[in-house]
A and B are shown apart, each in its own frame.
Chain A
Amino acid sequence: MQKIGELIFNSAIFVVSCALYYVATTFPDYRNSDQVGPALWPKMILLTIMILSGTLMVKNGKRMLDSIRSSERPASIQQGGNRMLIAAVTLSLVYVFSVSYVGFLVSIFLFQIIFLLILRVRSLKTLILYPACLTVTVYAIFIKLLYIPLPRGSGFFLAISRIFY
């Protein structure tokens, strides 16, 4: 599983580098003001990444073939950890995309409760008190003391945030 994953990751690096190299070829020339131009440096970097990731892909492929020949068994997968991880990453993405609508205070409070549930915390006291305390701490330090502008949300959530900051 690790070997297949690594091959996929190296292939992804190679493909993305090729795509970005193509993007770099579309950068305009500024021969009058700068003969080097904005494309040369990224092109050099991308070309090196392509060569190195290509080398790794070939190595990975060889190793996989060897393991198939020797009928090596794939390592056991930590199912529980993987499920938790997928849930945690999904929650993080949902949080990032919803924070501008829900506002910081409400979203961070809900984020913490769901994150704790994902991490198998079941005590109701912890699930309510800990996020509440952390949210109040963040509110006191970052909003009240340091005046850092955190997202307020829109509509109903904007009205709620206006009560606090």
Chain B
Amino acid sequence: MLVDIMTGYVHVFQFDNLIIVVLGTLIGVALGAFPGLDCTVGVALFLPVTYAMSPAQAILLLSALYGGGVYGAQIPAILFRVPGAPEAVVTTLDGYPMTQKGQAGKALGTGLLASLAGGIFGVLGLTLVAPILAKAALVFGPSEYAALGALGLTAIASLGSKSQIKAVISGLFGLMFATVGMDPIVGFPRFTFGTNMLKGGITFIPAVIGLFAAAEVYNQISRGLNATGSANDATKPNPPPIRVQFPKLRELKALKWSSLRSALLGLGVGILPGVGATTAAIVGYSQAVQFSKEPEKFGTGIMEGVMAPEIANNAAAGGAMVPLLSLGIPGSATTAVMLGAFLLHGLRPGPLLLIQQRPLAFTIFAGMMLSNILFFLFGFIAIRFFIQLRRVPYPLIAVGIMVFSAVGANAMGDISGMMMMFLFALLGFIMEKYNYSVAPMILGLVLGPVIEPSLRRALMMQEYDVVSILVRPITCALLIVSILITATPLIWQYRKRKSLRQSHIPVRG
């Protein structure tokens, strides 16, 4: 195996291949940072470019683009609350508040380091345990997916820093929006009101752009800005200079278990077919919240809130390649497009690829590893570019955000995408005004299409016998963990209140 790994690196460091990996990573970071142009779109757009390349070069370009894209999305998410791609939506929750508190440099440094760590972990996982993990992923059936979705939903209560009821309502909004469109089992159009626009369901990217980017512009306007800038630190006319600050060793040590859990969960979720880096980021973030001694601090701008999702989504990018390469099943939307690239170049991913095309497989692994190191370097350039944007007066930034939001939403479909984007922007603005966090809604939107069809399929397969679903070991374990995670803080709160009440009872002598 060591020889295979070395051969892979020798291939990658050949001049042509090296240039391709460098270009792929650079383009990936740039595309990831553009709202509306996520990794899937990027890989699809560059698929025709690979026609003239050798199979190895083609896959190297696309996998480097994928890795760079997952990283790039976090920069505008942290600086402007504009996630470049859905993968960075969760990073916005603590990244942007850090910027508002004047800690943008630290947030960017944490994100960069977390992406590097997560990416390397993902590629190591891919290289060392790909075939074993892929077999384990096949054990996951519909009931396990539904239970995994339920585990992701447990973060909802923690995301509502001001009101838990409002957080739950927001999460339910997301689940409800996810039901719009054709029913996943019987194909009946639900809540479409006879319009074609809603038949395809609520498109995720326009909804995310609207809820985060455009809604933030309305928020700033409602606070009353003038031509020179706005009230918050992120957009002052002469903001303090930002220098990328990496977390201190002491801080990293404090986060070591949370980071390890995020990396493992990210890799695990990435390996599961059909669940991508966005879900991985959510699961990574929710575990960090649930295991934290101060869960109420999440969403207010803390380092761990940037670290956990960024490690998880970058680890998931490597993880998503596991089922693709070892089983021929795409692990995410992006790897589904990459499957097309394999077929285009006469390659059939699957167990035989790792046996018959071993040098190619290890060249891809090495290319992905190099891409992770490269985006760490290119990250500085991209960050510098976006930091310069902060010097621009807010009205110009606001117009730029609105324009790219409109184009990004339109790029994901047609005018209906743009319409959805503006409607979600309005909803996001109103929700924020009345202290409803929009983050749980995103959770619901992502996990709704995982939970409902999986649950219904599981019920169909078990002939509507709920008990036989609950006794499946992985399903049972995941549900127990979900219940424990939800119940533990409530029990703690109850005990805390009880002890406070007891301490206030006057002692009778």
Question: Given that A6-B434, A100-B415 are known contacts, is A55 also in contact with B165, CB under 8 Å in the complex?
Answer: yes
Q: Which residue of A lies closest to B30 (CB)?
A: A141
Q: List 18 A-B contacts (CB under 8 A).
A: A35-B459, A42-B176, A46-B176, A49-B169, A52-B172, A56-B165, A82-B222, A92-B425, A93-B422, A96-B415, A99-B415, A100-B415, A112-B403, A115-B398, A120-B395, A121-B227, A121-B396, A151-B414
Decide yes or no whether B411 CB sits under 8 A from chain A.
Answer: yes
Q: Decide if A81 touches B222 in the complex (CB within 8 Å).
A: yes
A80 within 8 A of B: yes
Do residues A81 and B398 form an inter-chain contact, with CB atoms below 8 A?
A: no
Task: Check if A75 is an interface residue, CB within 8 A of chain B.
Answer: no
For window 20-35 of chain A, which residues contact chain B by CB distance below 8 Å?
A: 20, 23-24, 27-28, 30, 33-35
Chain A interface: which size bin? 35 or more
Smallest CB-CB A-B distances: 3 pairs? A81-B224, A119-B395, A38-B183
Interface majority SS (helix, strand, loop, mixed), chain B: helix
Residue interface bits B81-122, CB-to-A below 8 A is 1, else 0: 000000000000000000000000000000000000000000
User: Within 8 Å CB of B353, what residues of A?
Assistant: none
CB distance from A69 to the nearest CB of B (A): 23
Contact surface of A with B, Cβ cutoff 8 Å? 2, 5-6, 9-10, 13, 20, 23-24, 27-28, 30, 33-38, 41-42, 45-46, 48-49, 52-53, 55-56, 78, 80-82, 84-85, 88-89, 92-93, 95-96, 99-100, 104, 108, 111-112, 115-116, 119-122, 126, 130-131, 134, 138, 141-142, 146, 148-151
Task: Report A78 CB to chain B, min CB distance, Å.
Answer: 5
Contacts of B176 in A (CB 8 A): 20, 42, 45-46, 49
- Bits for B216-258, please: 1 = Cβ < 8 Å to A, else 0: 0110011111110000000000000000000000000000000
Q: Mark B372-416, 1 if CB is under 8 A from A, else 0.
A: 000000000000000000000011101110111011001100110
Per the 8 Å Cβ criterion, residues 425-477 of B in contact with A are 425-426, 430, 433-434, 452, 455-456, 459-460, 464
Is B188 part of the contact surface with A, judged by Cβ < 8 Å? yes
Contacts of B173 in A (CB 8 A): 49
Contacts of B433 in A (CB 8 A): 5
- Is the beta-carbon distance between A89 and B426 smaller than 8 angstroms? yes
B1, CB-defined interface residue at 8 Å: no
Q: Which of A9, A30, A85, A134 contacts B221 (CB 8 A)?
A: A85
Given A5-B434, A138-B403, A45 and B191 contact (CB-CB distance below 8 Å): no
**Contact yes or no, A134 B165, CB < 8 A:** no
Q: In the complex, which range does the number of interface residues on chain B fall in?
A: 35 or more
Find chain A residues with CB under 8 A from B225 CB.
81, 84, 119
Q: Which of A9, A92, A148 contacts B402 (CB 8 A)?
A: A92
Q: Cβ of A34 and Cβ of B186 under 8 Å apart?
A: yes
